């Protein structure tokens, strides 16, 4: 695992700040106290061997905070080459294969809302409507899940969760990793269940109706529901 930078100190310094600058100014203010942590993660990354692509690592956090109505927490990016795109659970249409968790999400979506089975693998349309798709760990080594679990990403995504928990934002926490941040949200804004992975989907994810529940909460608050 390539956590230790092999660059000379002078080159290390030139890398600092590129990752932080990907953040929307709103999130730069929220995460300002953690900039040194973000810089240290940036130096530890091997850009040639990281997924998602370096320029998409903070893609989920390049929109204004006021635009966020819902947050869905994932675990870490898809490890396959070209699969992750910086939005939790979303993948590129060019990847050619639907990840098992995303397939189960679509099955639950179909059953929950009675809509046709979704085939669009890119979830950018959810993001465009104010759904923040945020992994707890924002990077991994290509071909290896959870290989960046010790880089310190959770400290950063904890702060994101804490900030959103102080606002009118619906939080969807699927699985144990996501549920580590559930305490930041008031119960009336929180939806929890098992993770949609094949190992746990039948233990409470299927039948949990997260999409209709989310829209019910939004409508009660006079907010526009999500077109899933």
Please indicate whether residue 74 or residue 8 has the higher confidence score (pLDDT). Answer: 74
Which residue in 50, 42, 40 sits closest to 22, CA to CA?
42
Q: Give the tokens for residue 77.
A: 């990016």
Tens digit of pLDDT for each residue in 48-58?
799 999 999 99
Share of the chain above pLDDT 70, in %: 92
Q: pLDDT-derived band of residue 16, with 50, 70 and 90 as boundaries?
A: low
Active site residue 76: yes
Cβ-contact 129, 226 below 8 angstroms: yes
φ, ψ of residue 171 to 5 degrees: the values are: -110, 125
**For helices 210-220 and 100-113, angle between their N-to-C axes, nearest 10 degrees:** 60
Tens digit of pLDDT for each residue in 102-148?
999 999 999 999 999 999 999 999 999 999 999 999 999 999 898 99
pTM of the full predicted structure?
A: 0.91
Domain boundaries, the chain: 64-220
* Residues in Cβ contact with 216 at an 8 Å cutoff, skipping those fewer than 6 apart: none
Superfamily of domain 64-220 in CATH is Uracil-DNA glycosylase-like domain (3.40.470.10)
Q: pLDDT at residue 2 above 80?
A: no
Out of 12, 76, 122, 168, pick the active-site residue: 76
CA distance 225 to 93: 25
Across residues 162-171, what is the average pLDDT? 98
Q: pLDDT-derived band of residue 13, with 50, 70 and 90 as boundaries?
A: very low
Contacts by 187-190, CB closer than 8 A, 24 or more apart: 188/217, 189/165, 189/217
pLDDT computed for residue 15 by the predictor: 54
pLDDT computed for residue 47 by the predictor: 76
């Amino acid at each position: 695992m390539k956590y230790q930078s092999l660059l000379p100190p002078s080159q290390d310094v030139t890398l600092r700040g590129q990752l932080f600058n990907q953040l929307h100014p709103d999130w730069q203010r929220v995460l300002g106290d953690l900039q040194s942590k973000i810089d240290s993660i940036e130096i530890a990354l091997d850009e040639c061997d990281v997924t998602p692509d370096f320029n998409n690592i903070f893609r989920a956090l390049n929109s204004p905070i006021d635009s966020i109505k819902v947050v869905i927490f994932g675990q870490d990016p898809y490890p396959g080459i070209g699969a992750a795109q910086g939005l939790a659970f979303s993948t590129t249409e060019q990847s050619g294969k639907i990840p098992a968790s995303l397939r189960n999400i679509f099955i639950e979506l179909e059953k929950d809302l009675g809509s046709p089975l979704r085939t669009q693998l890119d979830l950018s349309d959810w993001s465009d409507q104010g759904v923040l798709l945020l992994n707890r760990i924002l990077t991994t080594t290509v071909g290896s899940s959870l290989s960046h679990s010790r880089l310190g990403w959770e400290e950063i995504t904890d702060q994101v969760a804490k900030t959103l928990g102080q606002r009118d934002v619906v939080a969807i926490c699927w699985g144990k990793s996501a549920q580590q941040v559930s305490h930041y949200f008031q119960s009336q804004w929180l939806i929890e269940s098992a993770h949609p992975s094949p190992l746990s989907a039948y233990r409470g994810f299927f039948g949990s109706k997260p999409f209709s529940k989310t829209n019910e909460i939004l409508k009660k608050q006079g907010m526009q529901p999500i077109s899933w």
